[in-house]
Amino acid sequence: KVIEALPDILEEHPDAKLTFAGGMHRTGDTEYLEMIEKMIEESPEKENINKTGVLPSEYDVYQYMKEADIVVLPFDEISQSASVTKTLAMGTVPVVTPLDTLKEPIKNYGGVMIEEDNQKELKKGIKKALNNPPEIKSEKIREELSWQNNVEKHLEIYEDLI
């Protein structure tokens, strides 16, 4: 989806770069990775597309998220997303598909949720994030979702049960 949106993005942002950060991990789904590599190779904008491959550590993942202007996460389905949470915590604007499980973090902490899961809306969402980025409440998400805060909430629940 994102590769196909790149020509329109480059019209307004000719210096834009698309980076696929990460690679195949536990699933062993080489078919998807091969499809992405083929799309990159066939893209007229392939000079504007980078692939990192599997990143060696979480620190490297955070660095890419922090250095990006936006992080596009076009999920088809997901029950929750650590990627969205990490992106927000780094202060970077996430652009996400309209899934119910992502509505709350986008509403509470910032980001762009596209209206429909299609190419036109994805381009619109990316352009919105680049041209008029919303405020990202990175400190709020880091505080509210910290280990310390989670432990305290769990202790309150346990104390109420006793």
Model's pTM, two decimal places? Answer: 0.82
The amino acid present at 136, given as its one-letter code, is I
Q: Following CA atoms 59, 93, 45, 23 in sequence, which dihedral angle do they give, to the nearest 10 degrees?
A: 30
**pLDDT 10s digits, 2-20:** 898 999 999 999 999 999 8
**pLDDT 10s digits, 124-152:** 999 999 999 999 999 888 888 877 877 88
Average predicted confidence (pLDDT) for the chain = 87
Burial (CB count within 10 angstroms: exposed 0-12, middle 13-18, buried 19+), residue 87: buried
* pLDDT band with cut points at 50, 70 and 90 for residue 1: confident
Percent of the chain with pLDDT strictly greater than 90: 45
| CA dist list (Å): 145 to 7, 89, 101, 139, 152 | 37, 9, 16, 10, 11
**pLDDT 10s digits, 10-67:** 999 999 999 988 776 556 667 878 888 899 999 999 999 998 888 888 888 888 888 9
Q: Which pLDDT does position 61 carry in this prediction?
A: 86
